[in-house]
A and B are shown apart, each in its own frame.
Chain A
Amino acid sequence: MPSLLDELIEALRCLPGVGPRSAQRMAYYLMQRERAGASRLARALVRALEGLHHCERCNTFTEGGVCERCASGRRDATQLCVVETPADLNMMEQTHAYNGLYYAIMGRISPLEGVGPRELNLERLLARACDGVVSEVILATNFTNEGEATAHYLGELLRLRGLKVSRIARGLPVGGELEHTDIGTIAQALIERRPLEGA
C-alpha cells in the first residue's frame, strides 16, 4: 500500500506538465512550508468539483446553469464564436474586438486518437447554434491540422443548417516582417492571399 506521501505525489502528477520530480517537489513544499495553502487548495478543489458545471449555452465552466457572459444582455446574441478551450476564449476576450457570444468545444476532432463528434458532443453545439437567434458562426479553432479539420466539418454542418459561417483569418502576425517570419506561415499567406479592395 502506498504511503500518504507517495499517494500525494502520484495525485499531483495529474496536473499538466508535472512529472515525477516536480510532483515530489510540490508535495514536500506543501507539507513543509505551505500547510495553510495546501489546506486551502484541498478545500477549493472539493468545492469546485461540486459547484462548477458546464454553462448550458457556451459549455465553459460556471456555478449556475448559465454563465454571466451568456446571461448578459449587452452581448450580441446573433454572433457565436466557436473556440477549442476556455483558454482560447479568454484570448478572444482580451482582443476587445468581439462582442458576440461563445461556444467552447473543450477539445478538437483528433481522428488518430479516436476523438470525434460523439466524444466532443458536437450535437450540443449544433443545437446551440440553431437557437433561432444566432445568424453567424465564427470558427476560431486552432490552425493545426486537427483544428482545421474541426473547422471544416463544423462549417459544413452549420451551413447545411442555414447559418452564415466564417473562419478567423491567418497570415502574417500584426507588425510582422517577411524576413523574420517562418516559411510555412508565408507559404500559407500566399495561398490565402486576397484581392486588394480598390478605393
Chain B
Amino acid sequence: MGAIRSRVEGQESFVLQLHPFRETSLVAEVFSRTHGRLALVARGARRPHSALRGLLMEFRPLALSWFGAGEVKTLARAEWMGGHAPLAGRGLLFGYYLNELLLRLMPREAPHPELFDHYAHALDELARSGAAEGALRRFELRMLRSLGWGLTLDREALTEEAVRPRCEYAFVIERGVVPLAGAGAGAAAVSGEALLAMAREDFSDPRTLSEGKALMRQVLGHYLGERPLNTRRVFMELSEL
C-alpha cells in the first residue's frame, strides 16, 4: 500500500539539472509546481534507446510521475507538455543562471507554486524577447519574495517614508532603503527613480537595469554566501573572448 500511496502522477515540472548516476541512469533535480524541488532517479535514462533520451532536458515543461518515500524518488514517467518556446543562444546561459539560483537558494521539498509560475514566465520571456536582462531582474525580485526575503524598495526602512524619485539612496542588507547620506561609507548609491521602477518591476529604462543589476548582485550575494555562481563566471569568460 505504501508504494501506491506515495505515487505522484503527471506533475507539471522543469528539470533544473541532470547528473549521471550509476552505469546507465540519471539523477534529475526537478522543480515541480506542486511539490517544489526534488531529486528523481531516472533509471536507464542513459541507455541508447531509452524513451527518456532527449526528453529529460532543462527549460521545457514536462509532466512527471514518480514514486518512493526516501529523499530521492524514482521517476516513473515523463511526458512532453509543449507550449513553451525553446531557449536559444544567450537565453540558454540566462536560463542556466535561473536554474543555479534555484538550486542554491530553494530548499528541497517545499512547494512554491507561485515561484514555479514566475520561473515559467521568466523562461517564456527569455525565449521570446530580446530584453532578457529585465526578465532576469524581475525573476530575482519575485524569487526573493517567494522565498520570504522580499525587498521593500518604494519606502525608506526606518521612517516608512515614500522613496522620492529625485533623491539618492542606498540599500542596506536586512534593513532596506536608507538615504545615501546616512548609509555610511562604501554603500553603493541607487537613485530613487530606479528604486521606484524596480518596485513596479519595470526595467525598461537602461538606468534601472544597470542600477538594479548592482543592487540585486549585492542582495543575492548576501544569501548565496562565499561560493560564487558558476554560471556567472562562465558567462563573464565568454564575454571576454
Chain A residues within 8 Å of B, Cβ to Cβ: 17-19, 22, 109, 111-118, 122-123, 126, 144-145, 148-149, 152-153, 157, 182-185, 187-188, 191
Binds A, one of B55-63, B68-76, B153-161, B175-183: B55-63
Given the complex, which residues of B lie within 8 Å of A113, measured CB to CB? 230
Within the assembled complex, what's the spacing in Å between the Cα atoms of A145 and B15?
Answer: 12
Question: Which of B86, B87, B99, B233 is within 8 Å of A116, CB to CB?
Answer: B233
Within the assembled complex, what's the spacing in Å between the Cα atoms of A9 and B145?
Answer: 50
Please state if A114 and B230 are interface contacts (CB–CB under 8 Å).
yes
Within the assembled complex, what's the spacing in Å between the Cα atoms of A145 and B238?
Answer: 16
Interface size on B, residues (CB 8 A): 34
Given the complex, which residues of A lie within 8 Å of B95, measured CB to CB? 145
Within the assembled complex, what's the spacing in Å between the Cα atoms of A111 and B45?
Answer: 22
Known contacts A111-B93, A112-B99, A126-B241; A184 and B233 CB within 8 A of each other = no
Q: Determine whether B149 belongs to the interface, using a CB cutoff of 8 Å to chain A.
A: no
Please state if B231 and A117 are interface contacts (CB–CB under 8 Å).
no
- The residues in B between 100 and 134 inclusive whose CB is less than 8 angstroms from any CB of A are 100, 103
Within the assembled complex, what's the spacing in Å between the Cα atoms of A19 and B55?
Answer: 25
Please state if B58 and A145 are interface contacts (CB–CB under 8 Å).
yes
Known contacts A183-B80, A184-B60; A191 and B23 CB within 8 A of each other = no
Chain B residues within 8 Å of A, Cβ to Cβ: 17, 22-24, 54-55, 57-60, 80, 82, 85-90, 92-93, 95-97, 99-100, 103, 230-231, 233-235, 237-238, 241
Q: How far is the CB of B107 from chain A (nearest CB, A)?
A: 18
Please state if B231 and A111 are interface contacts (CB–CB under 8 Å).
yes
The 5 closest A-B pairs by CB, nearest first: A116-B234, A114-B230, A111-B96, A17-B23, A149-B92
Known A109-B234, A112-B103, A182-B55; further 7 A-B contacts with Cβ < 8 A: A116-B238, A117-B237, A126-B241, A145-B59, A148-B92, A184-B54, A188-B86
Given the complex, which residues of B lie within 8 Å of A182, measured CB to CB? 54-55, 80
Can you report 11 residue pairs joining A to B where beta carbons are below 8 Å apart?
A118-B237, A145-B58, A145-B87, A145-B92, A145-B95, A145-B96, A149-B96, A152-B92, A153-B241, A184-B55, A184-B82
